[in-house]
Amino acid sequence: MKFNHEDANANLIPKDTWCDGLIVESIDTTSKKGNEMIVATFRLWAPDGRTADIDHYFVSDYPGMLKKLCSALGMMEQFNGDEVVAESLKNKSVRVLVKIQEDKTGRYGDKNVCAAFEAQPASDGSTPQPGAPVEQESFNPAKPDEIPF
């Protein structure tokens, strides 16, 4: 099979891209080390039309990113009260700065990660609204005429 190795990350949102986002899932759980944590799934809409779901792990021992998220969501009262319940994050809109985390092992491939958060501005209608259905081209390997290249 011939291919272009530079296409390996073609489905990733480009690094340093601010995306509109919606927290579609958020659960309280425990890390492997036994620390409390919240696993939040962010559905992101990039300016170029790409969409992605990114899981972010907020661990109690490192609350810095949770503080940034709470600040962007206007939830600093909960953060300053030393407890944020995962359920309170669900269905909240936020802007997310996306970076690419390189897989230095070569086993898993690079992936998009959340690097920063900011408040979601009022929409001017030019970008999809978080939560709105987004049409995506489907890829079905059983239909070779639909292969996008």
Q: 45 φ, ψ to 5°?
A: -120, 110
* pLDDT at site 76: 96
* pLDDT at site 70: 97
- At 80, is the secondary structure helix, strand, or coil? helix
Total-model pTM: 0.76
Tokens standing for residue 7:
């296409």
Provide Rg for the chain, Cα atoms. Answer: 17
* pLDDT at site 59: 95
- Count CB-CB contacts under 10 A for residue 63: 15
Map 2-33 to HEC letters. Answer: CCCHHHHHCCCCCCCEEEEEEEEEEEEEECCC
List, run by run, the mean pLDDT of 10-residue segments along the chain (149 residues): 69 93 97 95 95 96 96 96 96 97 89 95 55 43 46
* pLDDT at site 1: 86
- DSSP letter at 119 equals P
* pLDDT at site 124: 56
Among 62, 84, 59, CA closest to 74: 84
Burial of 112 (0-12, 13-18, 19+ CB in 10 A): buried
Q: Are 42 and 24 in contact (CB under 8 A)?
A: yes
The one-letter amino acid code at 55 reads D
Tokens standing for residue 94:
């936020």
* pLDDT at site 10: 66
